[in-house]
Chains A and B, each alone.
Chain A
């Protein structure tokens, strides 16, 4: 990712790592809390080129007093009609000054300030246009929602410029619009009725070759779509527009998978998030998206990524693209009827998911957990996928993952339970692959859900098959079941008792002789 590389470059300075790490942790905590409060929005700030290359981390803050002077100067210059290098210099200084939140609030309170900027934005001096949009961009990054409201008069112009040809300018417009969207319903309403969605779609189609722009479009779209569903803003009105977005996004993805290795690495991950938000923005179930082939598109993307990852060609930051794809596939699967599953989804997806699980297990366990969730959804009702799991020899790897917590092992055990539930002879295969000894370990785990699932799986494996029961007893599992009879959880007691009475009772006598021998030994 071109952008990600820049970030990494900055953060690799040795003297700053500890501070950076602390700052990261704090930010992470703040983000988690914001998510819980359903207030998780982010704004992006595009640094200008000279700032990006500067060695200084922080920008010198111009005191507010002098910024006010600048503002007044600029406005006087404007009205006098003189356009020259001084004006450009002052605009530049203004944009720097506007980085300070208090300067932002002061600025919007000045009479005509926005009007001046909009005037510059639409003026004949293109350099001033660029600087004016930069000022607006700084304003849009403000944490105060009043500031975003104040910027609204510029929105129709920003939208118009989206179909322009100047890429840097368009990029700034996009990010500005993206920053403005989440703050306020009024803002969102306005930009929606001004036709932001068709404008973005059009931009995407024309600028598909420019990755930076595609990423910016993805950002803006996802900011828009992230909130559409939860606030239920005229969703039906924009239904068809949303579908057209999807088609354009699909076009882009087609293009990128065509140039597989190169572009996959640079796949603007934000586009993938668009997918995810799309799947939530359409009310009701996702059958519309399904009919447009969303599931097959996302799953084939995952297959390609899985393939890349399995060959150890993992790129940094690729997981940011994997997350939304996993979520899309996971939720789309819940709307997809089982009969059509094999048409839409390649069975290679199973191998891809297992590869993702293994690769990201240690570095991003949450991602591994989501991959396990998708596996569960795939295998829940489909015999084909369950048998494919066995024939592709993916089960031993899954069994290896059973010791890991954070919800990974419960999901994986669910997957194995889905397989066992499908057919009797799948159970035999699972036993042959060593599931019984793994169950002897999982029965001892602290997590109640894990133990309940283990008992369920055990019940299915033993069902009617005395040999399996004997094998289980031989591995010393009976003692665990007996101990579980006295557990304080009712679910565990009931299951343990049932197993002892009905499934394991012929083996009880065997057990006596075994434990006698073992206790003497």
Chain B
């Protein structure tokens, strides 16, 4: 399914550019959007004699003076290699080698649903997820025809209900009944903690609500906003007009900006209803 994926990317890009142009009050990066933030200037650095950069040299000198200096060959080398860190906001994983970093990034941050921030292992599963969970047209069509496709690549069969597909997977393809990438979407997002898919990765990264990867467990417990966001997203997905209800009164006390798109605005069929993540939520 190349097209929706491409379309998804395209709209993502458009959304990116669009949001940077919008004068969203929360995002500080748009304040200087036309100014060049690069201010590198070559400079000669003068260091006073007591500067901490000179600490090691001074210590070596005094070790010599106090007759404690030995040839460096006897000591273990003190050189350190720079660590790598995942720069996705909210993910605080660090790595010793580039390979570890790449593996982390490719496994957890590549195929991420921008609506609910679930991370999926492959592009195909991501497509299926988006279709089934966030596509309003799909929901409509699914009532009339077989739309739920088998997760096994190459099988090609489609089913009317999720249960049918699950049975098919278990019986024909011998999948386990609790296959992690075939979760049923629950109407009430608070039940998310039972999602083992999220649990798989919580030990890798923590979330602050903006984590692209699923740290839904911790984020839901700490910060009710994302889940509310998602609830409203789901509701728009189901095309319920009640989605436009006002946000929870408790959240009104916090300064927050709504990224919900009103249901009467449509970016095109199958598009994502909403902006990518909660950029403005960061301090």
Interface residues, chain A, with chain B CB atoms under 8 Å away? 4, 7-8, 11, 17, 20-21, 23-24, 27-28, 31-32, 35, 38, 40, 42-44, 219, 229-230, 269, 273, 276-277, 280, 316-317, 319-320, 323-324, 327, 330-331, 333-334, 361-367, 369-370, 373, 376-377, 379-381, 403-407, 409, 414, 417-418, 421-422, 441, 443-447, 450-451, 453, 455-457, 459-460, 479-480, 482-488, 490-495, 497-498, 500-501, 505, 508, 512, 515-516, 519-520
Contacts and interface: CB of A to CB of B under 8 A. Distances in A.
B259 interface: no
A153 B123 CA distance: 87
A445 B69 contact: no
Given A333-B44, A455-B38, 14 more contacts: A7-B69, A317-B69, A327-B57, A362-B79, A363-B72, A363-B75, A364-B72, A403-B81, A422-B42, A483-B105, A495-B37, A497-B29, A498-B38, A519-B110
Contacts of A520: 2, 123
Contact of A38 (B41, B50, B80): B50
14 contacts: A8-B70, A11-B70, A23-B68, A28-B63, A35-B59, A373-B53, A377-B44, A380-B43, A417-B42, A483-B87, A486-B210, A486-B212, A486-B277, A516-B6
B251 interface: no
A421 B38 CA distance: 12
Among the interface residues A453, A480, A490, which one has the most CB atoms of the partner chain B within 10 A?
Answer: A490
B29 A444 contact: no
B225 to A, nearest CB: 16
B79 A361 contact: yes
Interface string B186-219: 0000000000000000000000001010000000
B82 A446 contact: yes
B66 A366 contact: no
A363 B73 contact: yes
B40 A370 contact: no
Contact of A40 (B58, B69, B88): B58
A451 B87 contact: yes
A180 to B, nearest CB: 15
Nearest to B9: A512
B60 A323 contact: yes
Contact of B40 (A269, A456, A479): A456
B87 A330 contact: no
B61 interface: yes
Interface of B: 2, 5-6, 9-10, 13, 16-17, 20, 28-29, 32-33, 36-38, 40-50, 53-75, 77-85, 87-89, 94, 98, 101, 105, 109-111, 123, 210, 212, 277, 279, 282
Contacts of A42: 62, 65-66
Given A4-B69, A7-B67, A512-B9, A35 B55 contact: yes
A364 B56 CA distance: 9
Contacts of B6: 512, 516
Contacts of B58: 31, 35, 40
B28 A327 contact: no
Contacts of A445: 82-85
Contacts of B17: 501, 505
Contact of B60 (A8, A44, A320, A451): A320
Contacts of B110: 519
A32 B52 CA distance: 10
A32 B64 contact: no
A31 B62 contact: yes
